[in-house]
Chains A and B, each alone.
Chain A
Amino acid sequence: MSLFVQSLVLGILLGGLYALLAAGLTLYFGVMRVVMIAHSAFLILAAYLAWVFARETGLDPLFSMVATVPLFFVLGVAIQRLLIARLRPATLTMMSVLLTFSIALVIEGLLGYVFTGTQRRIQLPYGGADIEVAGVNVAVVKLIAFGLAALSLLALYLVLTRTRFGQALRATIQHPEAARLVGIDTERTAGYGFGIGLATAAVGGTALALDSTIYPSMHWHWIGPLMAIIVVGGLGSIPGAAIAAMLLGMGQALLQIPLSTTWAQTIFYVALFVTLMVRPQGFFGGRLAQRF
């Protein structure tokens, strides 16, 4: 029983991180109809930056976000404005996949070139500490990672629902032409949407660096589950992505009890196939998801 509760808590903590990253991934799709394969490569890049920051300055890696979050935001805007926007609209979905895929390859290659393929890990003074929550032991770093993810998701939610920019962004997602008609600069809004998406990767990467061993080719182990999550949740739907991330994260943690870690990962792919067979538009997707 305690093993079950322990796994459940771990699943929730993991699901929080998945939720933040999947929200970013589905945001790109919403604003530009782009499947951003490089999302997880930027995640690993942020993790490496946090690692370098901690190694060079001796400060807590969390402070690296002061630099990486704005940097990634600007990078995201630049990728949208300088690269994605250049592609022909008729073949945008396919060509943008190839383009972001090539960005992912370049990042992975450069990380491997600069830092070699060696597995890296940040040594933290509180790295081994546990806290007892509801009768189960939870590593402090996992709690911090979850807290970061939850805070960022909350901030994203507030921006999307409470600000004028958020309204413009949601309008751009729902109907770009209509959004332009009411005077929204959809190009610029899409650029900012991209920036926010990439900023989630910066936060997620820092959180990841706290309690994981990182290596350059790791991003493939993240992009698969994340893509599965956004399809299950319905492409373009942020709440859908968050809910699917929580459910699948918990499912993965619970499956790790009877199965090995590797086989437990297949839950994402099984969920992906089942969703596409039963309900191709995803479980929370709107009109948008039905066409892709």
Chain B
Amino acid sequence: MPSASDRTRGPGLTTLLRLAGLLVLAAAVLSFPSVAANPFILSVGVVIMSYAVLATGWNFVGGFTGYMSLGHAAYSGLGGYATALLIIESGLNPWLALCLGALLTALIAVPVGIASLRVRGASFVIVSIAFVLILQLVFQSWGEFTGGSNGLRVPRPFGPDVLRPEQHERFFYLHAAVLAIALLAWWLIDRSRFGIGLKAIREDEDKAQALGIPTFTYKLVAFVVSAFFTAIGGGLYALWFGYLDPIFQFSILIGSYMVLMSLLGGIRSLYGPLLGALVVGYSVEFFKNEYGDTQFHLVATGLLLGLVVLFMPDGVIPALAALLRRFRPQASSIREVTQAELAEQRESQESGPITQGAKR
């Protein structure tokens, strides 16, 4: 009886390829600031990295559990405001404020998670949108504390002698470091027992529960971790951009960018959100630069999201991987297959006399 983790090919080559890919990726990211032609390009790079951090943060709950949060802008916004207010009100060190702000946001996410995760998906989505709408209301009206609609100026973490291009470069590396930590955390969870439990919830929550997975606790932990990383991303962005406005911080559009990026790249893959952030972030910045802030963004985002949902719900990476797999020997592992794929396999096995198991 072959075990589920058996592979038809040795792991050596794949691991080597993966390591090489990782090195190339790291080199590309690290050398970007020196290659960037001018400070503007560099600032676009920072924005894209920020999107990548947010989308990867989103993917802790969206990718593992399949619960799509449309209101994750709530946590990036809270992270930004918490960081800014901690610096302004209590004079904390900016980096300490960033970490403390993210922890506070994670703490706020606990009751929200409890309220929204006790039942299945529909309530979760409703709460996720409602939460970002309520935060927008509160932060706009509560003028004396949050600056209200006038916005909030965030003190710079670096002294006045650090010029703007230098700032961009430092923040680019900071974002890259946070992204690396988030990716590492995602990878570790992906390989853990906890991660397997989460993925079981994604594929079939009833069966996962029947197998003894504490579904509610698992979902809640994944949700809080996701809120934490999203808040770090929001806080870092606030420190870089230096200005917060409730309309833009708690905007439905930012939340939908996170979903679109992750979904386009592929929510089941480690690098999916990063790839999505590159594509979507670059196009968003390109259109903003070419056509300014028009309603066209909404239409384009909406159309793209609709197309991805209808025709490519698993994202680009799985689609490309499937294309590659056609040229490879067929894998026999069932570790990473969806219910739909299993059903397909079952049907093809029932119709064909030679099953994959018999081939081995």
Q: Chain A residues in contact with chain B, CB under 8 A?
A: 29, 33, 35, 37, 83, 86-88, 90-91, 93-95, 97-99, 101-106, 108-113, 117, 216, 220-221, 223-224, 227-228, 231, 235, 260, 262-263, 265-266, 268-269, 272-273, 276-277, 280-281, 290-292
Contacts and interface: CB of A to CB of B under 8 A. Distances in A.
Interface stretch (B49-57, B193-201, B291-299, B316-324): B291-299
B263 to A, nearest CB: 7
Contact of B294 (A113, A216, A235): A113
Contact of A269 (B123, B130, B297): B130
Contacts of A91: 66, 313
A105 B115 contact: no
Given A94-B66, A106-B303, A262 B114 contact: no
Contacts of B167: none
A148 B248 CA distance: 37
Interface string B57-92: 000000000111010000000000000000000000
Nearest to A260: B141
B125 interface: yes
A4 B302 CA distance: 43
Contacts of A35: 122, 125-126
A269 B134 contact: yes
B199 to A, nearest CB: 14
Interface residues of B, number: 51
Q: Is the interface of A mostly helix, strand, loop or mixed?
A: helix
Interface stretch (B232-240, B275-283, B304-312): B304-312
A99 B309 contact: yes
21 contacts: A35-B126, A37-B129, A90-B204, A90-B338, A94-B67, A95-B313, A97-B68, A98-B68, A98-B305, A101-B256, A102-B302, A102-B304, A103-B306, A105-B256, A105-B302, A105-B305, A106-B303, A109-B297, A221-B133, A268-B130, A291-B119
Contacts of A292: 119-123
A228 B130 contact: yes
Contact of A265 (B120, B126, B137, B338): B137
Interface in B304-356: 304-306, 309-310, 313, 338-340
B252 interface: yes
A105 B308 CA distance: 15
Contacts of A106: 298-299, 302-303, 306
